């Protein structure tokens, strides 16, 4: 029984642990920065009021993960949340494995990891879009001071 347990644990370990994921910012032109840095109170309020925050996760298969690098493009990750690179204000990045990855790793020679990015959309860009929307629809809005 102990032998079976050891083999089983080793198998999971081999499968889930052996992943090699590269996050590339290639072709992701942005004026944004790393980190969710809500330094200004006004920014915090803006994020809450206008729903500017985002959280995107993706399950990544890593075949022969110990020997082969799997590249994930930041641009493609953002597209999953229908966000352009130019819209990003700030973000951070997390790599982890959960029970689903452990299950997925039972496929021979395949590893699995979850990558996630969270952050905020550029309030200035959004405000500009908002203004254009208002201008095009010719609706006048009185903003409270």
Partner 1 sequence: MKRFLPFSLFFVLVVLLFGCARIKYTTREKRVEIFEHGGRNVEFTVIGRKNFYLWGHFPKDSTVYLDEVVHQATGYFDPAEISIEDFQSFPQFLASFFSIGLYTPRSYRIKGYAIRPKQYDQ
Contact 75, 23 (CB under 8 A): no
Q: Kindly determine how many residues on this chain lie close enough to bind partner 1 according to the rule CB under 8 A.
A: 49
Q: What is the DSSP letter of 28?
A: -
What mask of x and - would describe binding to partner 1 in positions 123 to 142, judged by CB under 8 A? --------------------
Of 42-50, 51-59, 101-109, 131-139, the segment contacting partner 1 by CB under 8 A is 101-109
Of 1-9, 45-53, 121-129, 135-143, the segment contacting partner 1 by CB under 8 A is 1-9
Contact 68, 19 (CB under 8 A): no
Q: Is 11 helix (H, G, I), strand (E, B) or coil?
A: helix
Instruction: Determine how β-strand 53-63 pairs with β-strand 70-73.
Output: unpaired
CA torsion 98→102→105→106, rounded to 10°? -160
Q: Helices (H) and strands (E) in the chain — how many of each?
A: 5, 6
What mask of x and - would describe binding to partner 1 in positions 51 to 90, judged by CB under 8 A? --------------xx--x----x----------x--x--
Could you say which of 83, 87, 113, 120 contacts partner 1 (CB under 8 A)? 113
Interface residues toward partner 1, by CB under 8 A = 4-6, 8-10, 12-14, 16-26, 28-37, 65-66, 69, 74, 85, 88, 91-99, 101-103, 113
């Amino acid at each position: 029984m102990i032998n079976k347990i050891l083999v089983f644990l080793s198998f999971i370990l081999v499968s889930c642990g052996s992943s090699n994921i590269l996050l590339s910012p290639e072709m992701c032109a942005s004026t944004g920065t790393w980190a969710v840095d809500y330094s200004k109170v006004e920014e915090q309020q803006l994020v809450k009021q206008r729903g500017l925050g985002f959280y995107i996760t993706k399950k990544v298969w890593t075949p022969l993960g110990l020997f082969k690098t799997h590249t994930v493009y930041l641009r493609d990750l953002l597209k999953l949340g229908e966000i352009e690179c130019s819209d990003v204000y700030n973000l951070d990045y997390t790599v982890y494995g959960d029970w689903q990855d452990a299950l997925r790793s039972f496929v021979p020679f395949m590893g699995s990891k979850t990558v996630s990015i969270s952050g905020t959309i550029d309030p200035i860009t959004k405000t500009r879009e908002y203004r254009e929307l208002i201008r095009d629809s010719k609706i006048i809005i009185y903003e409270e001071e």
